[in-house]
Amino acid sequence: MGLFRATIEALHRGLSKTRSSLASPLASLRGRTIDQETIDELEHLLLTSDVGVTTTEAIIQELRGSVADGALKDKDIIDILREALLKRLQGKDRTIAVADSSPTAILVAGVNGVGKTTSVAKIGKALRDENRSVLLAAADTFRAGAVSQLTTWAERLGIDIVKGEQGADPAAVTFDAASAAIARNIDVLLIDTAGRLHTQEPLMRQLTKIQAITNKKIDGAPHEVLLVLDGTQGQNTLIQAKKFSESIQVTGIFLSKLDGTARGGIVFAIEDETGIPVKLVGIGERPEDVEPFDPETFVDALIDISR
Ligand SMILES: Nc1nc2c(ncn2[C@@H]2O[C@H](COP(=O)(O)OP(=O)(O)O)[C@@H](O)[C@H]2O)c(=O)[nH]1
Ligand SMILES: [Mg+2]
């Protein structure tokens, strides 16, 4: 789905905190002879930027070999790192899946407060801006105020919504919304769900049920199951990704709040540890603050290649 356009300016703004943790110290390594000592410093830098042990070790090990071979003598440390980081992110399908025949159903899940509802609004707006018809399903019937929060977004964005009473069965709301999506010939159905902890067994089962109901109503649905992870939560997100994957088949990650963290490096840890591609990133609270995750744009913004 040619959904989103990545703009380096927007990401650059959003990632300003991450950049201060990674790019500034990185800049001080610039111009230095790349020897084992420089590599040591780079290793420390990557580890403190939440890039994670797996990615850091993989990159550092390769670089040590190249230093020993004398292959890096005349190279710029930034170019080398850029190449190494990009290599880690290559070969993943980051497109948003689309149904052969409408509607496409996108299920959005995650723990409390990570930005699920906001992300649903963001995706809804992006789709609507491309003249696609969108329907929201307010399947978070658990938390007080959740339905009205999504309803407010729907009204602001001029998007239709299907909802139930607070406390209603979210699977029933999903069923109604899927039926409406078919009846109204909607392009994309976006299903917002309640936040839940992976320790809350009944709630996790409910999510499995929502997924199953969607599939029963719409062929091949949900076409995307996006897990929203909060970029400010660091290593905690890894546990969430693993646990949710045990209940539902997560097809992509929406990494929210990248504007609020100095830990953009978490993208590498998430992909290395879970194998799930980051597909979209949230860089603010406004509905337009969403970007597709494009490795090149992201790495350039992260290490500030353009300045
Ligand atoms: N800075 C920032 N805040 C965000 C982002 N996405 C969501 N939020 C905020 O996070 C809070 C929780 O969002 P909400 O969508 O209600 O989370 P939910 O409980 O997962 O549905 C709200 O204050 C949002 O405005 C983001 O990308 N950046
Ligand atoms: Mg919500």
pLDDT digits (tens, 9 = 90+) for 60-108: 998 998 888 888 878 888 888 999 999 999 999 999 998 988 899 999 9
pLDDT of residue 78: 87
Side-chain half-sphere CA neighbours of 11 within 13 A: 25
pLDDT of residue 7: 66
Cβ(259) – ligand 1 distance below 6 Å? yes
From the alpha carbon of 290, which atom of ligand 1 is closest?
27
pLDDT of residue 4: 60
Confidence tier at 282 by pLDDT (50, 70, 90): very high
CB 193 within 8 A of CB 107: yes
Cβ(233) – ligand 1 distance below 6 Å? no
From the alpha carbon of 114, which atom of ligand 1 is closest?
20
Cβ(116) – ligand 1 distance below 6 Å? yes
From the alpha carbon of 283, which atom of ligand 1 is closest?
27
Dihedral sign (CA 31, 34, 39, 41): negative
Model confidence pLDDT, tens digit, residues 39-72: 999 999 898 888 889 889 999 998 998 888 888 8
CA 32 to ligand 1 centroid distance, Å? 41
Distance CA 299, CA 86 (A): 7
Residues contacting 255, CB < 8 A, separation 6+: 228, 229, 231, 266, 267, 270, 278, 280, 281, 282, 293
pLDDT of residue 250: 97
CB 143 within 8 A of CB 116: no
Using the structure block, give the residue that is written with the tokens 């109604």.
176
Confidence tier at 255 by pLDDT (50, 70, 90): very high
Average pLDDT score, the chain: 90
Cβ(124) – ligand 1 distance below 6 Å? no
Above 50 in pLDDT, residue 1?
no
- Of the listed ligands, the closest to the CA of 291 is 1
| DSSP E strand stretches across the chain | 104-109, 134-139, 160-163, 188-193, 224-230, 252-256, 278-282, 290-292
CA 110 to ligand 2 centroid distance, Å? 9
Confidence tier at 275 by pLDDT (50, 70, 90): very high
Cβ(118) – ligand 1 distance below 6 Å? yes
